[in-house]
Amino acid sequence: DAKTTQPTSMDCAEGRAANLPCNHSTISGNEYVYWYRQIHSQGPQYIIHGLKNNETNEMASLIITEDRKSSTLILPHATLRDTAVYYCIVRSDNYGQNFVFGPGTRLSVLP
Amino acid sequence: DVKVTQSSRYLVKRTGEKVFLECVQDMDHENMFWYRQDPGLGLRLIYFSYDVKMKEKGDIPEGYSVSREKKERFSLILESASTNQTSMYLCASSLSVNYEQYFGPGTRLTVT
């Protein structure tokens, strides 16, 4: 699986947009970009995923660059409850490919 | 909404005890997974199951076994618990093997 690189930590003011970057420069054509988050002492929560088009759901937007070597997760109006570790994961749709969680980005939403 | 529940949030067991961790999902998902999460090591896959009575080893199956007698339920068994199995255990399910996984709240197991 392609590896991802994320900043270790980020801060964001409450009510502002949180933009979390992820680099995946060795991504292959059949590999998707997934985002999960994990709030302290809870299980990871699925946020969104995409292949090459930008995606949006009720939680967030995912912007993938045209060359697919990087992506950004956008939380449009961050709240204190969005404080969590955010994981960017690249995974193919081949059978048996499982999610590999790296260290992620620790996002702190500040009042 | 997908709901994945785990039998206990916190569990304390003694070395050598047999431990059962249970996971139930209510979305008729085919696939279920057991991970453990340790500081600095991330999530590591122990076992997964793609159908009733079927199982496959993940990255770290040693010391664990699993059981899936019903589609909605996936059990992780520690035959003889050891202190190095103290960890956070996470169960997940997915509609199909290629789809996103949904996680339960986790069980923090301490083996003394």
Instruction: Return d(Cα B85, Cα B46) in angstroms, integer.
Output: 12
In angstroms, the separation between the Cα of residue B108 and the nearest Cα of chain A is 9
Q: Report the gap between the CA of A51 and the closest CA in chain B (Å).
A: 13
CB A44 to CB B43 under 8 A?
yes
Side by side, the strands of the sheet bearing A70-75 are A18-23, A70-75, A61-64, A55-56
Comparing CB atoms, the residue among A43, A49, A98 nearest residue B106 is: A43
CB contact (8 A) between residue B42 and residue A42: no
Tell me the average pLDDT across B72-88.
Answer: 97
* Residue B90, pLDDT score: 97
For A43, which residue in chain B has the nearest alpha carbon? B105
**Interface subset of B 14-33, CB within 8 angstroms of A:** 33
Q: Does A58 touch chain B (CB under 8 A)?
A: no
Residues of A in contact with B104 (CB under 8 A): 43
- The length of chain A, given as a count of residues: 111
Phi and psi torsions of B107, nearest 5°: -125, 120
Query: A22 with A5: CB under 8 angstroms?
Result: yes
Contact status, residue B26 vs residue B32, Cβ threshold 8 Å:
no
Q: Which residues of chain B are within 8 Å of residue A49 when distances are taken between CB atoms?
A: 100
DSSP B6-39: ES-SEEEE-TT--EEEEEEESS--SEEEEEEEET
Residue B1's pLDDT band (cuts 50, 70, 90): low
Output the six-digit token pair for B80: 């003889």
Quick check: A53 contacting B, CB < 8 Å?
no
Cite the DSSP H helix spans in A1-111: none
pLDDT of res. B98: 73
Report whether pLDDT(B44) > 80: yes
pLDDT tens digits along B55-70: 999 999 999 999 999 9
List CB contacts of A72: < 8 A, sequence separation 6 or more. Answer: A19, A20, A21, A22, A62, A63
pLDDT recorded at residue A101: 86
Identify whether the C-beta of residue B34 lies closer than 8 Å to the C-beta of residue B50.
Answer: no
Distance between CA B89 and CA B73 in Å, rounded?
15
DSSP state at residue A5: B
**Identity of the residue in B45, B58, B103 whose CB atom sits nearest the CB atom of A44:** B103
